[in-house]
Structure 1
Amino acid sequence: MRSAVIGSTGYLGTRLVPRLLARGDQVTVLVRSPEKLARSAWADRVDVVPGELGGDPAALAHLVEGADAVVHLVHALDHADFPERDRAGAHAVAEAAAAAGVGRIVYLGGLRPPGGDASRHLASRAEVADIFLASPVPTVALEASIVVGSGSASFEMIRYLAERVPVLPAIPWLHHRTQPIAVDDVLHYLVAATVLPPEVDRAFDVGGPDVLSYLDLVQRYARLAGLPQRIAVPLPVPVPPGGPTVAAAAMELLSPLPRTLVEPLVESLRHELVCGPSLAEAVAAMGPPPGGPTTYDSAVRAALGRRRDGADPAEWEPSPRPSSSDGDGAGPSSDDGSERPAALALATDPVGSGGATWRWRTRADARASARTVWSVLQRLGGDTGWYTPPGVFGALGWADQLLGGVGAYRGRPHGRDLVVGDVIDAWRVEALEPERLLRLRADLRVPGRLWLQFTVVPQGQGSRLDVELGFAPSGLAGVAYGAALRVGAPLVFPWMVRGIVGAAGS
């Protein structure tokens, strides 16, 4: 089957393409920014058509030529004139698909609010769906509310509200209901829709099993992330007409999300967005997601990197956003670790996706072998110490004990190699690959997740030691702690790396 994807470098596109490839499809993508596509692990497995959706009919015609299905996932929400841009793009796609004899258009839009009084964002999404449905090409328009997964703009708004705003103003829309859907469930419906028979030419509501208020979404996220419960306090004055603009400006200060993207989304929160009867019809036509519809709590756990076995929050994936060199999988079979789950942030997602994770890295070459450097890493902590400037870890432990924490010195195992779960002073072994990788998670009372990772790389007759200190902040205290790390890490950890390499005989 040949599938053409418009929006392959966007949030859903980067996760959909690997699934189509896994199904055996020949995939063609329209790409405006080749450098962004190059950051995807599957870039060399697709046919690339350079060009823009608007103003490049030749590129669009090339894209859809011979396609069995066209999946349309783009929107211009970050432009002030997004309704006009999206309308023109939809007409161009519909006309090109009809001329090429494409068998199916699949589009993901937004749920339609009752009464028809929609925000500009939702009205534009509905207009695009109607343009496709009015075309001669059989169309499935999937209509969803909030997509839950790291990298989704709506979900990132929930994340930053929960993590950085302990008290929410009780504006009316906080109590409006919505029906969120996990990103994996959306991908299931998108893939299934491409192979529906031609007589299926309609819109379907898609959503998860939970109907919750927007306040519920924030409070549940806080609980699942191990944060104090967020509360809503009534405003002493009515919400002004420019409320969405003010809220968008506040979100821009609290998060990396741009105001141009946030404001249309905030405006749409004034609606109740709950699926209608067509949700059951969607499940009947395309089948339920594997394992059944994903609950909101399960979707949040997946976005946080929490393991399916119900591990506690301390065992969450400590690095929610990979570097571009890590690639991305987002495929359907990620339980074995071969592909990065779709619910986690990818290197191609906007800055701040997956939380405002901060990393500091350094490296040092060693004349000693990788095995020798590894043996030094195996002895870190306890009586050996950490090769840091004198008093640094002692001060850290003293401060932690004042806060009721474990302190810096708890000893370490002796007479054997380290294993996952071992305690080394204020740290715990979280991941270990002999002679290659050691990742430690801090048991200190810090406002977020703090980890320290050592990677040993063979290099000729010697080796290289790479060190990463990472921190995923929680709350405003986490933001302040991260600022302190930015100052302190370059002063402390190069000293540590030089000490480890020196102890290995370099």
Structure 2
Amino acid sequence: MMHKKSQPIFVAGATGYIGGRLLPRLLDAGYPVVALARAPEKLKDRPWAQHANLTIVKGDVLDSESLAQAVSGCRAAYYLVHSMNPGVEDFSRTDRIAARNMAAVAAEANLEQIVYLSGLGEEESELSHHLRSRTEVGNVLRQGSVPVTILRAAMIIGSGSASFEILRYLVERLPVMVTPRWVDTPCQPIGVRNVLHYLVGCLENPDVVGDTFDIGQPEVINYRQLMQVYAEEAGLPTRWIIPVPVLTPRLSSYWIHLVTPVPAAIARPLAEGLCNPVVCRENRITTLLPQELFDCRKSIRLALDRLKQHRVETSWTDSGAIPPAEWSIPGDPSWAGGSLYTDSRKIVLESERGDIWPAVSSIGGQVGYYYANWLWKIRGLMDRVCGGVGLCRGRRNDDEVYPGDAIDFWRVVAVNKPGVLMLSAEMKLPGKAALMFRLVQLDDQHTELQQIASFLPRGLLGILYWYAVMPFHHYVFTGMLRGIADASGKRIITGPEKF
């Protein structure tokens, strides 16, 4: 075992919901890890990013060359990749190509094992597109010469998972729910901690290599019962749940989009999957890798505790590339002959910049935007109605911020603590927008807080949009700077003013 622990373990999908939680647990178990990421900057500021046994490699499972270089020299691999996100139209085709690449490079690298987290569902039944794609990926991986261990899970209950977020927001916001018939579909959820135990254990027990296992909690329930259990654990009154036959997965996804942070593009395949019974056919893994299996009540309780303590390790919002926003940096030339509009304001505070940074880095989510939050809420509602992400996503962590994090309808592009925070807008816009905060230490007792809003319009509509919202800038942005000063408890020396 000591010899085997000297060889690295490869993780594809390191920035995803499960991958981001598996990495520190593998490191704690003593394994050297090679983490593949399209955007390595999403990992560099994590608490475990500087671990001596961790190597972060830039690459993509769709790029065979970069994948082969990353896998070379590793003993085993975790394949935690799934392309079901708003930016991928035909995710099943993308998943097939990626799985073929993984199987091929694994064979070339002479890996001992691939561990793949799949979805529950009977192959002989009419599976949803989402579950069918998960099953197909497992079959593609098995066509290679490297043994594949497949863990099949239904709904994973954990703070930050897409399925749990849908459950949470539906139950918390709707005392009366008109639901599709799938609310009575049997399912066998599993807590995220139990999933991680099984994943790590697959490296420890040779009896699991090359086999398929169903993983889930001991009891079989339905989604109606799951909603009532959540309400009880959250201290909410009993929810009235009324199933009707007319709500299709498409209509359900639009309703989920409006009520929860999960966009329709992700909600639809998830809603389709809820129509399929997802129950374990066997439980052999409970003997091979024993652990305490949490029931849904305890899993929900643990997830709620994490949310209350602001200790959400990873979130479904973490997936996807960090959008480039170089065009928004002051001093850059206009791109492609277009016009770059900026609104730059500053304020000087009697403080060191490290004392102001916590207020800057806490923006959004429950804290809000320090001024005229009602206007931000209206803008978020408008975006949601238009199919955008709105303000529902909030923040994964109220205290820390990392590149790639989602903050309401913003994506964190860059963090340079305690100097720079750059956000790129993901709301529906006729152009590209960014918001940057920069803290400049003037002397030992004074710091200048700069706030720079940038907009690169797309066509005439983009130009008209900029001039339409410009009258609100003085009201909102000036108030925001004063609000940050108040939240920091620091005296204003000059400003706010434009520069």
Aligned match of 1:22: 28
Q: Taking structure 1 as reference, are residues 24 and 461 closer, same or farther at Cα in structure 2, changes over 3 Å only?
A: same
Q: Which whole-Å CA distance do the structure 2 matches of 1:363 and 1:349 have between them? A: 38
Q: Which whole-Å CA distance do the structure 2 matches of 1:461 and 1:246 have between them? A: 58
Aligned with 1:42: secondary structure?
Answer: coil
How many angstroms does 1:35 deviate by? Answer: 2.2
Asked whether the equivalents of residues 83 and 94 of structure 2 are also in contact (C-alpha less than 8 Å), the reply is yes
Asked whether the equivalents of residues 256 and 351 of structure 1 are also in contact (C-alpha less than 8 Å), the reply is no
Aligned match of 1:60: 67
Aligned with 2:50: secondary structure?
Answer: helix
Aligned match of 2:274: 269
Q: Taking structure 1 as reference, are residues 462 and 94 closer, same or farther at Cα in structure 2, changes over 3 Å only?
A: same
Aligned match of 1:218: 227
Aligned with 1:272: secondary structure?
Answer: coil
Q: Taking structure 1 as reference, are residues 349 and 462 closer, same or farther at Cα in structure 2, changes over 3 Å only?
A: farther
Asked whether the equivalents of residues 133 and 202 of structure 1 are also in contact (C-alpha less than 8 Å), the reply is no
Give, as a single letter, the amino acid of the residue that structure 1 aligns with 2:117.
Answer: L
Asked whether the equivalents of residues 113 and 209 of structure 2 are also in contact (C-alpha less than 8 Å), the reply is no
Q: Which whole-Å CA distance do the structure 2 matches of 1:40 and 1:194 have between them? A: 24
Aligned match of 1:346: 313
Aligned match of 1:138: 147
Give, as a single letter, the amino acid of the residue that structure 2 aligns with 1:38.
Answer: K
Asked whether the equivalents of residues 180 and 243 of structure 2 are also in contact (C-alpha less than 8 Å), the reply is yes
Q: Taking structure 1 as reference, are residues 140 and 461 closer, same or farther at Cα in structure 2, changes over 3 Å only?
A: same
Q: Give the one of 287, 290, 293 matched to 1:288.
A: 290
For the pair 1:158 / 2:136, whether they are aligned, the reply is no
Aligned match of 2:466: none
Counterparts of residues 450-469 of structure 1 (less than 5 Å): none
Aligned with 2:317: secondary structure?
Answer: coil
How many angstroms does 1:304 deviate by? Answer: 0.8
Q: Which whole-Å CA distance do the structure 2 matches of 1:167 and 1:214 have between them? A: 15
How many angstroms does 1:167 deviate by? Answer: 1.2
Counterparts of residues 337-486 of structure 1 (less than 5 Å): 344-346=311-313, 350=317
Asked whether the equivalents of residues 69 and 105 of structure 1 are also in contact (C-alpha less than 8 Å), the reply is yes
Q: Taking structure 1 as reference, are residues 260 and 363 closer, same or farther at Cα in structure 2, changes over 3 Å only?
A: farther
Aligned match of 2:77: 70
Structure 2 residue ranges without an equivalent (≥5): 320-346, 356-442, 448-478, 493-499
How many angstroms does 1:193 deviate by? Answer: 0.8
CA deviation profile, 1:10-43 (whole Å, cap 9, x unmatched): 0000100001111111100111012212242222
Q: Give the one of 78, 85, 92 matched to 1:83.
A: 92
Query: Could you say what the CA RMSD is over the residues aligned between the two structures, in angstroms?
Result: 3.4
Q: Taking structure 1 as reference, are residues 366 and 489 closer, same or farther at Cα in structure 2, changes over 3 Å only?
A: closer
Q: Taking structure 1 as reference, are residues 346 and 161 closer, same or farther at Cα in structure 2, changes over 3 Å only?
A: same
Give, as a single letter, the amino acid of the residue that structure 2 aligns with 1:169.
Answer: V
Q: Give the one of 1, 22, 35 matched to 2:41.
A: 35
CA deviation profile, 1:375-432 (whole Å, cap 9, x unmatched): xxxxxxxxxxxxxxxxxxxxxxxxxxxxxxxxxxxxxxxxxxxxxxxxxxxxxxxxxx
Aligned with 1:109: secondary structure?
Answer: strand
Q: Give the one of 47, 70, 83 matched to 2:55.
A: 47
Give the TM-score normalised by the residue count of structure 1.
Answer: 0.61
Give, as a single letter, the amino acid of the residue that structure 2 aligns with 1:270.
Answer: C
Q: Which whole-Å CA distance do the structure 1 matches of 2:41 and 2:214 have between them? A: 35
The aligned length equals 341
Aligned match of 1:299: 299
Give, as a single letter, the amino acid of the residue that structure 2 aligns with 1:350.
Answer: T
Give the TM-score normalised by the residue count of structure 2.
Answer: 0.62
Q: Taking structure 1 as reference, are residues 366 and 500 closer, same or farther at Cα in structure 2, changes over 3 Å only?
A: same
How many angstroms does 1:497 deviate by? Answer: 6.7
Aligned match of 2:262: 257
Q: Taking structure 1 as reference, are residues 216 and 198 closer, same or farther at Cα in structure 2, changes over 3 Å only?
A: closer
CA deviation profile, 1:224-247 (whole Å, cap 9, x unmatched): 111121111254xx415xx11111
Give, as a single letter, the amino acid of the residue that structure 2 aligns with 1:226.
Answer: G
How many angstroms does 1:190 deviate by? Answer: 0.4
Aligned match of 1:312: none
Asked whether the equivalents of residues 160 and 315 of structure 2 are also in contact (C-alpha less than 8 Å), the reply is no
Q: Taking structure 1 as reference, are residues 282 and 318 closer, same or farther at Cα in structure 2, changes over 3 Å only?
A: closer
Q: Give percent identity, aligned residues only.
A: 36
Asked whether the equivalents of residues 34 and 57 of structure 2 are also in contact (C-alpha less than 8 Å), the reply is yes
CA deviation profile, 1:416-459 (whole Å, cap 9, x unmatched): xxxxxxxxxxxxxxxxxxxxxxxxxxxxxxxxxxxxxxxxxxxx
How many angstroms does 1:114 deviate by? Answer: 6.7
Aligned with 1:107: secondary structure?
Answer: strand
Asked whether the equivalents of residues 132 and 139 of structure 1 are also in contact (C-alpha less than 8 Å), the reply is yes
Q: Which whole-Å CA distance do the structure 2 matches of 1:146 and 1:220 have between them? A: 15
Aligned with 2:206: secondary structure?
Answer: coil
Aligned with 2:169: secondary structure?
Answer: helix
Give, as a single letter, the amino acid of the residue that structure 1 aligns with 2:39.
Answer: S
Q: Which whole-Å CA distance do the structure 1 matches of 2:75 and 2:60 have between them? A: 21
Q: Taking structure 1 as reference, are residues 198 and 215 closer, same or farther at Cα in structure 2, changes over 3 Å only?
A: closer
How many angstroms does 1:493 deviate by? Answer: 9.4
Give, as a single letter, the amino acid of the residue that structure 2 aligns with 1:93.
Answer: M
Q: Which whole-Å CA distance do the structure 2 matches of 1:175 and 1:147 have between them? A: 18
Aligned match of 2:324: none
For the pair 1:180 / 2:182, whether they are aligned, the reply is no
Q: List structure 1 segments (4+ residues) > 3 angstroms apart after TM superposition.
A: 362-367, 460-464, 488-501
Asked whether the equivalents of residues 9 and 348 of structure 1 are also in contact (C-alpha less than 8 Å), the reply is no
Counterparts of residues 305-320 of structure 1 (less than 5 Å): 305=305, 318-320=308-310
Aligned match of 2:252: 247
Asked whether the equivalents of residues 349 and 490 of structure 2 are also in contact (C-alpha less than 8 Å), the reply is no
Aligned match of 2:414: none
For the pair 1:116 / 2:117, whether they are aligned, the reply is no
Asked whether the equivalents of residues 30 and 63 of structure 1 are also in contact (C-alpha less than 8 Å), the reply is yes
Of structures 1 and 2, the larger Rg is shown by 1
Asked whether the equivalents of residues 169 and 233 of structure 1 are also in contact (C-alpha less than 8 Å), the reply is yes
